[in-house]
Amino acid sequence: MNLPGSILRKAGMQGREWIFVALSLLIALGIWLIVNMSDTYVRAVSVPVTAAGNIGGYASRSSSPSVVMARCRATGYDFVNLRRTRQSVVVEFAASDLHHKDGEVFYVTSNELMRYGNAIFGDNMNLETVLTDTLYFRFHRENFKKVPVQPVCSVEYAPQYTSAKGVQMIPDSVLVYGEPFHLESIERAYTKPFVLRGLKDPARGVIRLEQTKEVRLSQDEVEYKVDVERYVEISTTVQVRTRNVPSGRTLTVYPSTAKVTYRCSFPVLSDPVGNVGFYIDYKDFASSISGKCLPRRDVLPRGVLSYSIEPEVFECVEGLR
C-alpha cells in the first residue's frame, strides 16, 4: 500500500505541490525562529565561576567554582550562546573585593559582583540583578616569602641631568610562592632587562618580571619610574676630621683633605660648600684591619642630589696624646 500517494490523491495534490507546501512551512518556521530569537528577553541564568585573585599567602585561583545566578536582558541568540559556550568562567577579582571569612574561605558580595557582569556573562548580556546574595570561594594556603624587586636596567642621562633616587620600582617588593626548599635560595625578584637612554625628563613605564618554573610570583609585572632633574656641579676642598676618638689617644688621617664635587638641583637653592662636614669615625678605624677607612658625612643640604669625593679611602694612624 502506497500511503503517501494515497494521502496526496485524497488531498488532490501532486508531488511537486506537496514539496512546495513543505518548503513553505519550513521557511515560515525559519522566519518565526529568527524573529523570536532576535527578540529581547529577561531571564534568570546561572554560570559557574572560578575566582582568580592576588591574595597574599593563598593560591592564585579558587579550588572549585561557585555558581552565580542573575537576571539578564539579552536576545534569544545570546541566551542560547550562553548555555552553549559559557559552561564555566575564570574571573579575575580585585583583592579588595575578596573578603576573608575564615580559614581558607573568601567571599564576594552581590553589589561587587555587579561590576563583573561582562566578565561572568559576556559582553552581549545586560546584567540587571544579581540573585546570588554572597558568593563563596576557597583558596588554599601556600608557602611564600616577600622579596625586593631588583631592576635590571642600564640608564644614561642627558648631559647635566641626573636622578637623586635612580630607578624606583612600584611596588618595590613582591611575594614569591613555592616549596620551602625553593624559597630559601630566592632573595630578590628581577625584572626583564631594559634600557633608558638620554633621559632629561621623568620616565615611567611597566616592565615584566623574570619567571622561574619552581616558584610563582604574586604579579607578572611592575611599574618603574625615574625622576630626572637638571643639575650643576660645585666643587670644593674639605678638611677630613675625626670624631669619637677616646681620651688620651689621637687619630691622624692621610691625606687630611679631599676634593668633594656636589651635584645640585638647578637652580641652586643652597650652597653646600662649607656646610657639610666629612670625618673618620674612630669606631670604623677600631673595627678595620688595615687602618683604611671610608669617610662619613653630615646630612646633605636640601637640593644636593649626590656627591663624589677624592680620594674615596683614607689611611688612619693611631697615637697617644
Q: Indicate the average pLDDT of the chain.
A: 86
Dihedral, 199, 200, 204, 209 alpha carbons, nearest 10? 20
- Compute the average pLDDT of residues 186-210: 95
Query: What is the structure's pLDDT at 202?
Result: 94
CB–CB of 315/254 below 8 Å? Answer: yes
Q: Does the pLDDT value for residue 14 go beyond 60?
A: no
- Compute the average pLDDT of residues 102-117: 92
Rg (CA), the chain: 37
User: Which of the pair, 4 or 270, is modelled with greater confidence?
Assistant: 270
Query: What is the structure's pLDDT at 5?
Result: 54
Q: Are strands 296-297 and 161-162 parallel, antiparallel or unpaired?
A: unpaired
- Which of 20-34, 48-62, 175-189, 190-204 bottoms out in mean pLDDT, i.e. has the lowest? 20-34
Element (H, E) at 223: strand 221-226
The side-by-side arrangement of strands in the sheet containing 105-109 is 99-102, 105-109, 134-138
| Long-range Cβ contact pairs of 178-184 (< 8 A, separation 24 or more) | 178/142, 178/143, 178/144, 178/214, 178/215, 178/216, 179/143, 179/214, 180/143, 182/214, 182/215, 183/143, 183/144, 183/145, 183/215
Cα gap 263→205, rounded to integer Å: 26
Amino acid at 19: I
Cα gap 187→215, rounded to integer Å: 13
